[in-house]
Amino acid sequence: MSGFKSDFLWGGAVAAHQLEGGWKEGGKGPSVADVMTAGAHGVAREITDGVLPGKNYPNHDAIDFYHRYKDDIKLFAEMGFKCFRTSIAWTRLFPKGDELEPNEAGLKFYDDLFDECLKYGIEPVITLSHFEMPYHLVKEYGGWRNRKVIDFFVRFAKVAFERYQHKVKYWMTFNEINNQANFHEDFAPFTNSGIKYEEGEDREPIMYQAAHYELVASALAVKVAREINPSLQVGCMIAMCPIYPLTCAPDDMMMAMNAMHRRYWFTDVHVRGKYPQHLLNYFERRGFELDITAEDNAALKQGCVDYIGFSYYMSFATKATADNPQLDYDETTSLVSNPYVKKSDWGWQIDPVGLRYSLNWFWDHYQLPLFIVENGFGAIDVRENDGSVNDQYRIDYLSAHIAEMKKAVVEDGVDLMGYTPWGCIDLVSAGTGEMKKRYGFIYVDKDNEGNGTLERSRKKSFAWYQKVISSNGEAL
Ligand code: P53
């Protein structure tokens, strides 16, 4: 193969809660994203008990895509997008999450949005759950701690598949389901699973239980999609930060392997329909008694995914330490800085080669088509007086990653479906809630405090990406 496939899905990626705004429009209910305040690098977003007066909730209005999507999609079309990855806000279809019937105004919004994409030949690629579950399910059910949430999710998925089956072919169930491997911090448990831990709770088994219910829900959704329309393709979505050993000391190597086990077993369950033995042994060693039934195991087997979607921003590194003889991985304490790579202003390690490594890792393990559904460089952009933004650093980041991605396809033979850089239009950061951590080809005039005209303008990277797409990845 000399390059990317002729039908390679070039595009861009976003998530509903990070750009739509309109948090109460069309009958939408509050989601977990609506109770998170703005933070900053090193300052965690506060998760409040409901929406409180006087707090800054950046997702409420975001970049007002809800009202401006037609103009924005026109700009995506100008760049030549073949696809556009977004999510369906669960709370537009089911404002509380436990209703029996969906909200028609919400369904209509996505009908119109998808029609607008299709008008330009842009294929919508849709995530069902991207850090935006109904807040009502958190308050009333404890989020994904509760088995009942499986049924609510499957109902939501079924409604979406039935309604949009002729507009959307590519789906993903849970965005970055494996972020919650980082269960010591509050962010991932809440955004992945709607979980707020009580003081003193043993967090780890609760995380595994919630992830199990999500994996069952995902498998049931895959099954439902096939029953509704066998041409639908449903993937998983994994946050891939490959974990390197800091040195070639054998214990460092084993530590890295264990770390990979602990962060990526989710993929095994999605793809193979069963738990890897190392994890079952770990549950036993730790005495975790989880609610995993024979029926669940049968469901997992019947709902294996069609492809692997993943995000890639950075690599991690780890090392063995004397106080950890079992070489157990703890994401808050086991990571070390990699001296061979640079970091972004937010401390994310920049490692284009790690993308080639990740593509090969996934391909060697699973032999399923791969889709890079997020990759990008969060940076502080400066808008010049003439309105231009010279984001050469973003071009450098993306072109280096695409070059490595090409090697994975051309030299290593990986089956890659497409590439959708994250935040193709500036939006609210998930991790920090900031506007100033920008990823876009399109600048949006809005700052961290919520001031700005919301006017859109093309950055330097806009024309660059347009060329990348028109040359099918040859002009970098
Ligand atoms: P922000 C952590 C590590 C890797 C990806 O992130 C992550 C996170 C969570 O912050 O999230 C994904 O906005 C996620 C997007 C998110 C994007 O990466 O923190 O799927 O919703 O916006 C970038 O810079």
* Cα 386 to ligand 1 centroid, rounded to whole Å: 31
Pairing of strands 243-245, 170-174: unpaired
Is pLDDT of 188 > 80?
A: yes
* Cα 442 to ligand 1 centroid, rounded to whole Å: 18
Residues 30-70 have pLDDT tens digits of: 999 999 999 999 999 999 999 999 999 999 999 999 999 99
Pocket test for ligand 1, best of 422, 434, 438 (most atoms within 8 A of CB): 422
ipTM, interface predicted TM-score of the complex = 0.97
- Is position 20 annotated as part of the catalytic site? no
What is the H or E stretch that residue 366 is in? helix 352-366
pLDDT, mean of residues 273-289: 98
Residues 347-363 have pLDDT tens digits of: 999 999 999 999 999 99
Residues 373-383 have pLDDT tens digits of: 999 999 999 99
The whole-angstrom separation of Cα 266 and Cα 352 is: 24
Is pLDDT of 336 > 70?
A: yes
pLDDT, mean of residues 184-200: 97
Pairing of strands 123-129, 456-458: unpaired
In this structure, the residues whose C-beta lies within 6 A of any atom of ligand 1 are 15, 18, 131, 175-176, 239, 311, 313, 374, 378, 422, 429-432, 437
Give pLDDT, residue 1. 59
Residues 209-266 have pLDDT tens digits of: 999 999 999 999 999 999 999 999 999 999 999 999 999 999 999 999 999 999 999 9
The whole-angstrom separation of Cα 80 and Cα 467 is: 9
Give pLDDT, residue 113. 99
Position 95 confidence tier, pLDDT thresholds 50, 70, 90: very high
Tokens of 455: 């006017």
Give pLDDT, residue 201. 97
Is pLDDT of 410 > 70?
A: yes
Alpha carbon nearest to ligand 1 atom 10, residue: 431
Contacts of 192 (CB under 8 A, 6+ apart): 131, 144, 174, 176, 177, 179, 180, 210, 211, 214
Give pLDDT, residue 242. 98
What is the H or E stretch that residue 18 is in? helix 16-19
Is pLDDT of 2 > 80?
A: no
The whole-angstrom separation of Cα 308 and Cα 301 is: 16
Residues 127-154 have pLDDT tens digits of: 999 999 999 999 999 999 999 999 999 9
* Cα 378 to ligand 1 centroid, rounded to whole Å: 10
Pocket test for ligand 1, best of 126, 176, 192 (most atoms within 8 A of CB): 176
pLDDT, mean of residues 200-217: 98
